Structure 1
Amino acid sequence: MKKILLVLLLLSIPCFSQEIALLKYNGGGDWYANPTSLPNLIKYCNANINTRIKSKPRTIEPNSPDLFSYPFVHMTGHGNVVFSDSDVTNLKKYLSGGGFLHIDDNYGMDKYIRKEIKKIFPNNDLLEIPSSHPIFQKPFVFPNGLPKIHEHDGKRPQAFGIFVENKLVLLYTYECDLGDGWEDAEVNNDPFEVREKALKMGANIINYIFTN
């Protein structure tokens, strides 16, 4: 039933304003990092790719039944993440039923989040997403895949995904930090070109969710 409701929700998105959400998780990590990033991404998408997303994202916990009201949930932070058994059950139902989770490593999350993703999908490997995937193709083309926004450890940026029935349902962006690029310009003092690149990639993610 929840899967049917989520599918109906996604089909009706073009007709009215939609909401997206930020995941408030346990474990001690700063889930609240980058407070201006989602509002800025929403503003950019509404202005450039004809979305009608409400300007203020909601905050949602992973075990909440309200999770199914949001077609896109964003998660970020620098530290520890712990999903309880009820979190895992709810997240798996949400993602298997048509929901989408974007996890953006804000630097320091990687060693924690990988084991938590494995709890949700123990039989699925995190696969690196090739630059040929539709998420990198429209509405903005990223011929080399995920852009590099912040230096972190100097490694190349990588986009990993969990696929359910050949559909990308979980996107994990590593060594990239899209969320920092979405923040207000004065927060990280990123040049316009870097911020625009991050916002365009974010718009591609939103577009993928709403059109696939």
Structure 2
Amino acid sequence: MPRRLLPLLVTLLVLSASLGYAQWRRRNSEGPIYYTEGGDMVDSRTVKTAREIASHSTGTPEWKNPPEFSRDVFTFVRIIRDRDPYGSPSSGSWITDFPDSDLNLSFRLQQMTSIKVNPDGRVLRLTDPELFRYPFIYMVEPGALMLRDEEVEILRRYLLNGGFLMVDDFWGEWQWEGFAEQMKRVFPDREFTELPMSHEIFHCVFDLGTEKNKLQTPNERLGSMSKYSGVTWERHVQKDGGYEECTEMHVRALYDDKGRIMVLATHNCDNGDAWEREGEDDYFFHEFSEKRGFPLGINIIFYVMTH
């Protein structure tokens, strides 16, 4: 491919992805009915597991645990949450990458570690009484997160009582500010800390001995084209209407008083696509799913469950 065509091709890919995503996001700006990226309807009032919803990618693996492990398993829990209509317009809803990312990561976690994993996953709101049964919860695209008043207190209790929240797939300063503002409602006196690459979380199962930007994953379209363009970051709208090139990946943690990580934010990174779309493109799988998204996700869960 002539080098002079690469910038144009990348621009067209970004615009195409943005337009398609904007149309999908408009359908998911309000509940209780949401739609997966494959067009399947999901009722947020009744959905319980990721297994109930059809795959919109290349299918999801199935497995069973021995009966004696039926209760002693790790469960990937996705949180259903509201979206601030005045937040970043490029920030999506709770259903992004669902259900494929949840089930694919759950399978890889069981495959690559000794942890037994729930083959169905869970989906719930913070107000669900079952929340405190699960030590790990996940929010996707929290850049326009809007917590209800009752959820603020529940999330604070959950985290201080040993729970852990991972947030992923949000880009740029506007989306970071939107998320951080909501977390200030939960913990007004706590600040996020950037994790150095020497932290154990990057080395506990897979030794991710590289610079942080080498762990960055964009959406699958840009990732698949990165073998030509070299671009592993996304462009997102700013408050002033311009666009920000979100080149620097961040992994930021919020600690409790004993030094335990309560919240981990992978910012300027889309691990969810690495988990969700592992089977769609060979280059994307080997470069992003295999080298970045799965190792980082597995390390995070393993570290949380052992600390």
The equivalent residue for 2:126 is 62
Normalising by structure 1, we get a TM-score of 0.86
Give the letter aligned to residue 183 of structure 1. Answer: E
2:159 pairs with 70, 91, 95, which one? 95
Unaligned 5+ segments in structure 1 are: 1-12
1 or 2 for the larger relative contact order (CA 8 Å, sep ≥6)?
1
The equivalent residue for 2:267 is 174
Deviation string, structure 1 residues 93-151 (Cα, Å, up to 9, x no partner): 11111110000034474332111111111100011111121111111112234711111
Deviation string, structure 1 residues 165-192 (Cα, Å, up to 9, x no partner): 2011100110111111111235577242
Q: Which has the larger radius of gyration?
A: 2
Structure 1 ranges of 4+ moved more than 6 A:
none
Q: Is the 8 A contact 1:136 1:145 kept in 2?
A: no
1:105 pairs with 169, 186, 209, which one? 169
Q: Is the 8 A contact 2:74 2:117 kept in 1?
A: yes
SS in 2 for 1:185: coil
SS in 1 for 2:83: coil
The yes-or-no answer on 1:198 pairing with 2:293 is: yes
Deviation string, structure 1 residues 13-64 (Cα, Å, up to 9, x no partner): 9982232200111125410101111111110010001111112221111222
Equivalent residues in 2 for 1:150-189 (5 A)?
A: 150=218, 151-152=233-234, 153-164=245-256, 165-186=258-279
The equivalent residue for 1:6 is none
C-alpha separation between the residues in 2 aligned to 1:18 and 1:210?
9
After superposition, the CA RMSD in angstroms is 2.2
Unaligned 5+ segments in structure 2 are: 1-68, 85-91, 219-232, 235-244
C-alpha separation between the residues in 2 aligned to 1:87 and 1:57?
21
The yes-or-no answer on 1:149 pairing with 2:212 is: no
C-alpha separation between the residues in 2 aligned to 1:118 and 1:74?
18
Deviation string, structure 1 residues 51-103 (Cα, Å, up to 9, x no partner): 11112221111222221111110100275211122101000111111110000
* Count of residues in Structure 1 that have an aligned counterpart in Structure 2: 200
Paired-residue identity, % = 26
Normalising by structure 2, we get a TM-score of 0.61
